[in-house]
Structure 1
Amino acid sequence: MTTVTTRTVTYPADGLTMVGHLALPAGTGRRPAVLLGPEGMGLSDVERRRADALAELGYVTLAFDLHGGRYLGEPAEMLARCLPLLDDPDRMRGIGHAALDVLRAEPRADPDRIAAIGYGTGGMIALELGRDGADLRAIGTVNGLGTGRPGEAARIRCPVWAGVGSEDPIMAPAQRDAFTAEMRSAGVDWRFVVYGGALHAFHHPPVDHTTLPGVGHHPRHAERAWRDVVDLLAECLPVPE
């Protein structure tokens, strides 16, 4: 089994001190890197384990923070912070760029070979980095399909992969249609996967607190979405032998 090294990193963003999770693969050389964004509740052990799994595959991975080291398990508190954030592309980009700067500065990370993957709010932040022209090799978003400001998707410089559950009421059909129309009109290299029968946050293991209506785990599709993310990285960001 490959040895993965992890450490906590702190950095400023959105007026807060963010607390991210950095996972480094075995060895000493530079490796391709992945910026990993969490659901709106914030960074948890779910994303930390995903970062560690990507490091096992050879990627320097930073799971970034949204809420200054806090996990917002109460839906009302989470919505009170996330809804204004999701309405403000510049704030989302600020959070994303702050984390991206930390990842680029990591000596083990190849600053020219970085992908951004996110879930929910984290996925929307990954998309906003692309719309801001960030130098990324791939963008992946699971149930985070926000539509950007008109015309800015043309600045996306890499393939985009998106996944959503067919029964997700939060990422409703009209929102999916707006996202795909934006990608098409911008000429982006994009893919869109709909996982039949899955709700919002279908990829996330069950939690021990109240969730929003329409949220539910789907084990089979969670595994499939993870494989799709790994395949995207293997295509766009292969790890050197």
Structure 2
Amino acid sequence: MNAVRTRSVAYTADGLDMTGHLTLPAGTGPRPAVLLGPEGPGLSDFERGRAEALAELGYVALAFDLHGGRYFREPEDMLARCLPLLADPGRLRGIGRAALDVLAAEPRTDPGRIGAIGYGTGGAVVLELGRDGVPLKAIGTVNALVTGGVAETARIRCPVWAGVGSEDPVMAPAQREAFAAELQAAGTDWRLTVYGGAHHAFPYPPVGHRTVPGVAHHPAHAARAWHDLLHLLEECVPVSP
């Protein structure tokens, strides 16, 4: 049996030279695929590992780049890059569509069976792909309860699952309520899981550099959120047709 294979893929988006992490499952035939978006600091070994885990399950997966190969270790630098992105759905959609084109062009990808998951800013990207009418089979996000208006959200064509920590100061209760209300008003098939005691970016292990207050790892909920994302994919983008 062939092992999982990985390679870097170069493409352009948002005026930057991006480098994504593509993972291929064993075998030779077309497989369902998953687009995977990183947290605000950028593509890291965490997302690369998640993409490889998806390939082990039988998916083609692409962990995409947000910042032209950069990883922001200083919160101020990350916010200076991400806040303008989050305020501009068009730029988020452009980043997502460029990565999706790479994933769809991979010969192992079944273009009719693609789901998208993301964390933080990467989660906002995949939500905006849905709002842009991209025919994804599933959207899953963690720490990314980004609203976009009922009319735009009504363009989402697939089930949406979102996870958030109860103590997340970035995605506070008012934002959770606004996100849920928008999905409901848009007629979306949606679920929202609140993980008790978890903070922002709770799936991420300690990274060894300074973070902002309200960011903390929660090992138990990190495992549960990954399980919930996999459950979404198993339901909506099963490895077996």
Question: For the superposition of Structure 1 and Structure 2, which TM-score range results when normalised by the shorter chain?
Answer: over 0.9
CA shift, 1:3, in A, is 1.5
Tell me which residue corresponds to 1:149.
149
Could you list the runs of 5+ residues in structure 2 that have no partner in the other structure? none
Q: Quick one: distance in 2 between partners of 1:169 and 1:176? A: 11
User: 1:50: Cα distance to partner?
Assistant: 0.2
Any conservation in 2 of the 1:2–1:56 contact (CA below 8 Å)?
A: no
Shift of 1:150: 4.2
* Cα distance in structure 2, aligned partners of 1:149 and 1:92: 15
Q: Which residue of 2 aligns with 1:34?
A: 34
Provide the C-alpha distance between the structure 2 equivalents of 1:130 and 1:201, rounded to a whole number of angstroms: 22
The aligned residue for residue 158 of structure 2 is: 158
Match of 1:16 in 2: 16
Matched-pair identity in %: 73
SS of equivalent residue, structure 2 residue 83: helix
- Is the 1:37–1:63 Cα contact (8 Å) retained in structure 2? yes
Question: Partners of 1:143 and 1:176 in 2: how far apart?
Answer: 10
TM-score, normalisation: structure 2: 0.98
Q: Deviations over 1:93-129 (max 9, x none)?
A: 0000000000000000001100010000000111000
Counterpart-to-counterpart distance in 1, 2:172 and 2:87: 17
2:235 is aligned to 235
- The 4+ residue runs of structure 1 with deviation greater than 4 A are none
For 2:21, the aligned partner's letter is H
SS in 2 for 1:141: strand
Q: Specify the alignment match of 2:209 in structure 1.
A: 209
Q: Who is 2:223 aligned against?
A: 223
SS of the residue 1:162 aligns to: strand
Aligned-residue RMSD, C-alpha: 1.0
Matched residue of 2:122: which SS? helix
Write the letter of the residue equivalent to 1:80: A
Which runs of structure 2 are paired with 1:6-85 in the superposition (5 Å)? 6-85=6-85
Contact 2:150–2:186 under 8 Å retained in 1: no
Pairwise CA distance, 1:149 = 3.3
The worse-fitting range, judged by mean Cα deviation, of 60-69 and 1-10 is 1-10
CA–CA separation in structure 2 for the residues paired with 1:112 and 1:15: 28
Q: Secondary structure, in 3 states, of the residue corresponding to 1:11? A: strand
Amino acid aligned to 1:131? R
Q: The residue matched to 1:227 in structure 2 has which SS?
A: helix
Tell me, what secondary structure is at the counterpart of 1:174? Answer: helix
How far apart, in 2, do the equivalents of 1:96 and 1:70 lie? Answer: 17
2:154 partner SS: helix
Specify the SS of the correspondent of 1:197: coil
Q: Is the 8 A contact 2:34 2:61 kept in 1?
A: yes
> Does the Cα contact within 8 Å between 1:25 and 1:58 map onto a contact in 2?
yes
TM-score, normalised via structure 1 length: 0.98
- Contact 2:2–2:27 (Cα < 8 Å) also in 1: no
Query: Matched residue pairs, number?
Result: 241
SS across alignment from 1:177: helix
Which amino acid is 1:117 matched to?
A: I
The letter of the residue matching 1:101 is D
